[in-house]
Structure 1
Amino acid sequence: MDRKGKSIYHLDTPTLLLDIDKLKENINEMAAFAKMQGISLRPHIKTHKSIEIAKLQLEAGAVGVTTAKIGEAEVMAAGGMKDILIAYPISSEMKMKRLIGLMEDGVDLKISVDHVQQVEWLDAFFEQTSYTLQVWIKVNSGLNRCGVEPGDEVVQLARKVVNSASLKLGGIFTHAGHSYGAKSIEEIEQIGLQEARMVVESAEACEKEGIPIPVRSVGSTPTYKIAGQVKGITEVRPGNAAFFDAIQVGLGVTSFDKCALTLLASVVGVYQGSRVVLDTGSKSLCLDKGAHGNQSVSGFGHVVGHPELTIERLSEEHGVAIVNGETSLSLNDKVLVIPNHACTVANQFEEYVVHQNGVVVDVWKVDARGKVQ
């Protein structure tokens, strides 16, 4: 069925909608910031998982893309992306063989390292091939997930890499994901500054030992405009900033009118004027209410134009909203819901219905949907 030219309100539900004007505005904002700072932009595609959107980001000035998993990198490579950072630790032989496949396809590949044994295993594997693998050292800047500690641990791992036979040290990077747990804009600013300093100081410590660090890269949508202004940083890697979502609004990073991704939902039940049920449950809206210990939103999505509704609970196929006061909604009415977390919601759908001013202009695949290996 050809949906182009139709009003979004004539579509079946639930449907994943993407506002093309807001998307391009967000992409251009990231690119403009990087250009203004004289640094590179390498956006993370785990948010959108779309070849079409990645192409828009490259056209706007991105030097390449970041992925979380090899599967995402394989999809992006098949879509023409040639400069890819896999920002995830890789050490199994099964996955190393897949890295070879990407390099055979001409991808300028970089991967994350944060452990001496990982470096040893990568070196031993790639020494048996004709390839030299570029690795970037992941620094723990406070998230306490992956990454070596800044300073001496970075230098020790850098020495291990430069003394290896088949690895090349390309950069140092971090992800300040703990910014999602911040309680204020001021705390986000502090995290962003700390994130950048840990990368820059680690790079400087390496260079004092004669180990050059060409790339000093930071990420995180809440912090990239803060960390990206610190002298010595050469690259930013925001992901969610392409779409934004209710969590970013809750953190004070953006506003609802900049959120490009919405779900079109139908009212499937109105009960005693106190409860409205939508056809978007946990299989479409997901269960995020914040991240890293911070519930920065109220409910499970923001219902556009209906402040009287709070989506209080989700089952698999039902979004149950309580009504504070009165609502004009009735059975079969359609509403737009801004998801709490755009990244997880996009991964639930096979396609984006792209619209401009509420009229469908295209349909794009969520190409890397489900690519978690």
Structure 2
Amino acid sequence: MGLDEIDTPYTAIDLARLQTNLERHRLRCQTQAIAFRPHAKTHKIPELAKLQLEHGAIGITLATIGEAEVFVDAGIDDIFLAYPLWLTPHKADRLGALTKNARITIGVDSVASLENSAQTLGATSVEFMIEIDSGHHRSGTSPNDVLAIAQALADHGLTFAGVFTYPGHSYNPEVKDQASIDEVEALTTACDALESAGFEVKVKSGGSTPSSQTTSDYLSETRAGVYTLGDAQQLELGTCGLDDIALSVITTVVSKRGDTVIVDAGSKIMAADKAPWATGHGRVLANIDARITAMSEHHATVVYPDEHSAPALGELIQVVPNHVCNAVNLVDQVAVIEDGGIVQWWSVAARGKNS
């Protein structure tokens, strides 16, 4: 099926580029001597997660119990929920149900949240990773405060699997490479304290797509996720090239004046993310110099270097969202493109599974 046989706008994944990205990441992690457990909240697509496993992933990372339910139903049996959870009895029951078919690990960053998990879960095979703050300052305990959490896990007879961090400040271009140093320093401090107290740290988990080139082999696994598809943020951070970006939104030029065109894709399919350092609201796959300069709900303004390079009215172009994770979450399915045509559709099965 040709790209012009589907009404625009719609979201598409270039299969060849995706496969190249998966293999590149596998080889990079192999060279770095680090296992990888990619964050599948980036795409929320079981078929894509299975491709990641085929390319060597040891499991996947997710954000919510709802996402885990979707992926376990799809046959994926090793999942890490990389955030602290505050469990209600119902959420605890849902986690318990998942453990019948998968190894489930969750994050914890305080004694209070651990006590909550112990009370609601009771005897459980759910494993726990202690989250360390390495500079992103979202969730995570200080690396100097890990012993109390580890001891609480031991006191309750719960399984301590290791430590993890998220160097989210790698999304700041001024400190992108420093983030890899920060995560090693924080994890080292935490692990030294734990091991000195007699706790075995089996897993040291971290990483992000912007810091993937500088991730240290002190880590035992990386959880980068955006590497699969790429986006305009990664392009501007220097993490990928334009030819590496596998996901785009197919859209039609509906208005034109000089070097500026209006397309029928806006924030309701591309999302509205724009980092302070971003040069626009998105990019154009076929023209490195074009920028999306304004975004409405259903339309976007794209400025080209000159009138000659701007596409004609009615022409299809492929635009690149700034943040792929949010863009994928706005659609029910994505077209899979191979050799210039649509060969199948993948359901964004975990879309909207926010709890």
- TM-score band (shorter)? over 0.9
C-alpha contact (below 8 Å) 1:313/1:319 kept by paired residues: yes
Q: Unaligned regions of 5+ residues in structure 1, if any?
A: 1-5
Deviation at 1:324, TM superposition (A): 4.5
CA distance in 2, matches of 1:321, 1:35: 40
C-alpha contact (below 8 Å) 1:126/1:132 kept by paired residues: no
2:46 maps to 1:37: no
2:91 maps to 1:124: no
Q: How does 1:1-373 map to 2 (within 5 A)?
A: 6-93=1-88, 94-104=90-100, 106-127=101-122, 130-150=123-143, 152-165=144-157, 167-183=158-174, 187-227=175-215, 229-231=216-218, 233-271=219-257, 273=258, 275-290=260-275, 294-295=276-277, 297-306=278-287, 309-327=290-308, 328-373=310-355
Relative to 1, partners in 2 of residues 1:302 and 1:234: Cα closer, same or farther, differing over 3 Å?
A: same
Q: Letter of the 1:85 partner, please give it.
A: F
Q: Unaligned regions of 5+ residues in structure 2, if any?
A: none
C-alpha contact (below 8 Å) 1:285/1:300 kept by paired residues: no
CA distance in 2, matches of 1:42, 1:181: 23
Relative to 1, partners in 2 of residues 1:220 and 1:308: Cα closer, same or farther, differing over 3 Å?
A: closer
Q: Compute the TM-score of the two structures, normalised by the length of structure 1.
A: 0.90
CA distance in 2, matches of 1:64, 1:306: 36
C-alpha contact (below 8 Å) 1:45/1:67 kept by paired residues: yes
C-alpha contact (below 8 Å) 1:84/1:109 kept by paired residues: yes
* Greater alpha carbon shift after TM alignment, 316-325 vs 354-363: 316-325
CA distance in 1, matches of 2:115, 2:299: 49
Q: Letter of the 1:145 partner, please give it.
A: R
| SS of aligned partner of 1:46 | helix
Q: Letter of the 2:250 partner, please give it.
A: L
CA distance in 2, matches of 1:158, 1:243: 36
Provide the residue aligned with 1:3 in structure 2. Answer: none
Deviation at 1:78, TM superposition (A): 0.5
CA distance in 2, matches of 1:310, 1:250: 12
* Greater alpha carbon shift after TM alignment, 85-94 vs 68-77: 85-94
| SS of aligned partner of 2:107 | strand
C-alpha contact (below 8 Å) 2:93/2:121 kept by paired residues: no
C-alpha contact (below 8 Å) 1:193/1:230 kept by paired residues: no
Q: Tell me the alpha carbon deviations over residues 281-320 of structure 1, each in whole angstroms, 9 at most, x when there is no partner.
A: 1101111122xxx42x322111233456432211111112
Deviation at 1:255, TM superposition (A): 0.8
CA distance in 1, matches of 2:225, 2:347: 18
Deviation at 1:7, TM superposition (A): 2.5
CA distance in 2, matches of 1:27, 1:331: 36
Deviation at 1:248, TM superposition (A): 0.6
CA distance in 2, matches of 1:188, 1:310: 23
Q: Compute the TM-score of the two structures, normalised by the length of structure 2.
A: 0.95
| SS of aligned partner of 2:96 | helix
Q: Tell me the alpha carbon deviations over residues 116-144 of structure 1, each in whole angstroms, 9 at most, x when there is no partner.
A: 111111112222xx423211001111111
Relative to 1, partners in 2 of residues 1:307 and 1:257: Cα closer, same or farther, differing over 3 Å?
A: closer
CA distance in 2, matches of 1:253, 1:35: 18
Backbone CA RMSD of aligned residues: 1.6
C-alpha contact (below 8 Å) 2:87/2:120 kept by paired residues: no
Give percent identity, aligned residues only: 34
